[in-house]
Amino acid sequence: MPMIDLYVPEGALTPEAEEKLVERLTGILVRAEGFEETNEAMRSVTVTWLHRAPRQFVAGKPADAPRYKVVTTVPEGQLNSESRAWAVAEVAEAVLDAEEGRWPRNKRRVWVFSPEIPEGQWGSGGVLNPLASILTRVYEPEEARELANKRIAHSRAERLLLPE
């Protein structure tokens, strides 16, 4: 159920490469949320908005190669620090692969942000959907509720840990 905002500079990728990239990003995010990439229930609620990025500048000068921004918004608890780090790395690779060698391969040209929407604030279908409700697409209601509680608690505990 991630929402993906993909910012691609005009002409940076072929239309075919963009479609393959969106397909790949969908699979990556579904997997990062703990499901099989082919899980149709989760894929069916994963939406990507493709934004055309205007001219880009780096250090005040026109960019020498495209820069990309990918924002993967998820409900609170769907990603932990490990799955988030894996997804960021995979998304960067997917974007660079989509260039098909047209520019020097450099992960520093890809920004990936994965904000979480706090529990009870994910709105779709005209209503607010708690994580347990969302997970009932795949799990029985009691199992979905237990999993949601566990994921949210883990997510909140991770945020409380201070870096060493």
Let me know if residue 55 belongs to a domain: yes
Asked whether residue 131 is assigned to any structural domain, the reply reads no
The per-residue pLDDT for 90 is: 98
pLDDT the model gives residue 162: 60
Which of 122, 125, 34 is closest to 78 using CA atoms?
34
| pLDDT average, residue stretch 107-131 | 95
pLDDT value, residue 164: 59
User: What would the pLDDT profile of 4-34 be if each residue is shown by its tens digit?
Assistant: 999 999 999 999 999 999 999 999 999 999 9
Q: Is residue 80 part of a domain?
A: yes
Residue-range definition of the domain harbouring residue 105: 3-121
- For residue 159, pLDDT beyond 90: no
**Is the residue at 143 inside a domain?**
no
* Count of structural domains, the chain: 1
How many whole angstroms from its chain centre is CA 9?
19
pLDDT digits (tens, 9 = 90+) for 48-103: 999 998 889 999 999 999 999 999 999 999 999 999 999 999 999 999 999 999 99
Whether 138 is covered by a domain: the verdict is no
Cβ partners under 8 Å of residue 53, min gap 6: 7, 8, 9, 10, 66, 67, 68, 69
Does residue 33 form part of some domain? yes
DSSP per-residue string spanning 99-161: TTTSS---GGGEEEE--EEPTT--EETTEE--HHHHHTTTS-HHHHHHHHHHHHHHHHHHHHS
CATH number where 91 lies: 3.30.429.10
Say if 24 falls within a structural domain. yes
What pLDDT, on a 0 to 100 scale, did the predictor assign at position 54? 85
For the chain, the residue count is 164
Asked if the model's pLDDT at residue 163 lies above 70, the reply is: no
pLDDT tens digits along 123-141:
998 999 999 999 999 999 9
Query: Which residue in this structure is represented by tokens 């690779």?
Result: 93
Identify whether 35 is part of a domain.
Answer: yes
What's the pLDDT score for residue 135?
A: 94
Q: Which residues neighbour 6 within 8 Å (Cβ) at sequence distance 6 or greater?
A: 21, 22, 25, 48, 49, 50, 51, 68, 69, 70
Q: Which residue has the higher pLDDT, 164 or 101?
A: 101
